[in-house]
Amino acid sequence: MKKQNDANRQPRVGDPIYSTNLLELIKKQASRADSTRSLSKKLVAAIKKSDMLRLGASSEIGGKNETLVNIANELRAITPLCTSTAWVIWNHTQLFHHTCALLGPKHVEFLAERVSNADWFCQGAGAGTEVKGTRLKTGMRLNGVSAFASGSRYADWAAIIFNMHSPEFTVVDMKDPKMRVDPTWEAMSVRASSTDHVYFDGPKVPLSRVVPMPFKDREFHRNTKHPVINQRYREDWVALSAMWLGAMASGLADASFKEMTAGIKDRIAVFGTKMADRQSIHLNLGRARSLINAATDSVYSVLRETDERIAASIAPTEQDYFRQNSAGMQAILLSDEAMKLIQRVLGGNGLREGGNFERHFRDFQAMPLHIIPHTDRITEQYGRLELGLETTNPF
C-alpha cells in the first residue's frame, strides 16, 4: 500500500497564522482581564491593527476570505490563553458575516470601508432586547435596549434587529453620542467579554442602511436567486458560530488536559502513592483524551466539509445547517464531559495549587449555555427535520 505523503495531508488542527504576534500579549493580560473584567487597551488596539477582524470578510470587500478551518485554528489557539479575547473575536466574526449577508451587494462600499478600518462589530439580541424604529423622512430613529452584546465596549458598530412585529436590520456607529453601553455582565465566565447592555437613545441611521430581516433568513441567503457578495455568505452565520465555538471548546479542553497531565506526573497521592501509577488516573485520562479527540474531529470534519462546499459554489441545505449546528453542539458536550474528568483527576490538591484550570473551567461554562449551540435549541428541531416536519426556529 502506498504511503500517503504527509505534506499533502490536511491536518485536523493547524497552527494559527494571523494571531501569532498577539498570543504573548493575550496571555500576559489574561489574569488581569479576568479580575478587571476588561481586555487591556493595548490588546484591543493590537487586535484592530492586525487582520484578525478581517478574516471572515470576503475579498470583494477587502477581507482575507479565510477558510472556516483556518479561522477555527486562530480561535482555538487564543481560547486557552484568554477565553474572553477569543469570545469577542468569535462574536465579531460571526456577526460581521451576518451583516454582510443581510446588507448584501448594494452595500459593498460601506462594508469595504468597515473592513479597511478593521471596525469591530457587536450585537445584542438576548432576552430583554427591545428596540423600536421610527421612520422619518431622512432616516430611522432607534430607541430601546439590546442585551448580551458581547464586545460592546470594544466595538465600533452595533448591529441591531428592531421593530420585531415586522423585523428590520441595521448597524449603528457606536461613536454616536446617543449610543451608550451599560456594563451589566457580572457572570463568572468570560468576565472580560463585555457582554453588556447597549442603549439606543435615539440615534438616527440612513434609510438606505435599513434592510428587512426575514424570518429564517438562512433560507433566503441559500436561495441561488438571491444575490450575495460572495458564496461564503450563503452559509448561515448561526451554523458557522456553532462550529467555531465547538472548536474553541475542544481547544480549551485540550489545553486543560495537557496542563493537568504535566502537573500530576510527579505528584504524590495519599499514603505516598504516585498519582501517575494509579489505575483510576489512567482510566480517566484515557477517557478524557478520547472525548477531546472526538470533539475536535467532529467539528473540524464539518468545518472542512463547509469550506469544500463554498469552494465548489454549492448552496447549503437545511440538513447541512443542522449538521453544522449539531457538530458544534456535540463538540461542546464532549469537551464538557472531558473538563469534568480533568477536574476529577486534579482533585482538591490540583485546585489548591493554582494554575489555569479554575479560570478555564469557569470560562467553559458559557459555551454549552449559549443559545446558539444549546442542545435544547438544536436537537428538538433536528428531530423534526428527521421526521420530515418543517423546522420552526428562526435561527
CATH of the domain spanning 12-116, picked from 1.10.540.10, 2.60.40.10, 3.30.499.10, 3.40.50.2300: 1.10.540.10
pLDDT in tens, 274-298: 777 778 889 999 999 999 999 999 9
Question: Would you say 188 and 175 are in contact if contact means Cβ atoms under 8 Å apart?
Answer: no
pLDDT at 279: 83
Give Cβ neighbours of residue 287 (< 8 Å, ≥ 6 apart): 338, 341
Q: Which of 299, 306, 304, 362 is nearest to 334 (CA)?
A: 299
| CATH architecture, domain 235-386 | Up-down Bundle (1.20)
Give the start-to-end residue ranges of the domains of the chain.
12-116, 121-213, 235-386
Cα–Cα–Cα angle for 213, 217, 223, rounded to 5 degrees: 125
SS (H, E, C) 7-51: HHCCCCCCCCCCCCCCHHHHHHHHHHHHHHCCCCHHHHHHHHHCC
In which band, very low, low, confident or very high, does the pLDDT at 353 lie, cut at 50, 70 and 90?
confident
Residue 117 identity: N
Least-confidence region, from 8-12, 24-28, 121-125, 314-318? 8-12
Reported pTM: 0.94
What is the average per-residue pLDDT within 228-242? 98
* Separation of alpha carbons 180 and 192, rounded Å: 18
Phi-psi region of 288 (alpha: psi -120 to 50; beta: other; left: phi over 0): alpha
Instruction: Report, as an integer, the average pLDDT of 257-277.
Output: 78
* Residue pLDDT, tens place only, 93-150: 999 999 999 999 999 999 999 999 999 999 999 999 999 999 999 899 999 999 999 9
Which percentage of the chain shows pLDDT scores above 90?
87
Write out the DSSP string of 143-212. EEEEEEETTTTT-SEEEEEE-TTS-EEEEEETTSTTEEEE-----SSSTTS--EEEEEEEEEE-GGG-EE
Burial status of residue 23 (CB atoms within 10 A of its CB: 0-12, 13-18, 19 or more): middle
Confidence tier at 50 by pLDDT (50, 70, 90): very high
Which set of grid coordinates corresponds to residue 273? 502513592
pLDDT score for 302: 98
For the 121-213 domain, the top CATH level (class) is: mainly beta
* Pairing label, strands 157-162, 121-123: parallel
Bridge partners, residue 211, by sequence: 169
CA 7 distance to own-chain centroid: 30
Biggest CA–CA distance in the chain, Å, is 80
Tell how far CA 154 is from the center of its chain.
16
- What pLDDT sits at residue 5? 38
Q: Beta strand pairing status for 157-162 and 211-212?
A: unpaired
Domain 235-386 in the same topology as domain 121-213: no
Backbone φ, ψ for residue 184 (5° rounding): -95, -5
Identify the band that residue 347 occupies on the pLDDT scale cut at 50, 70 and 90: confident
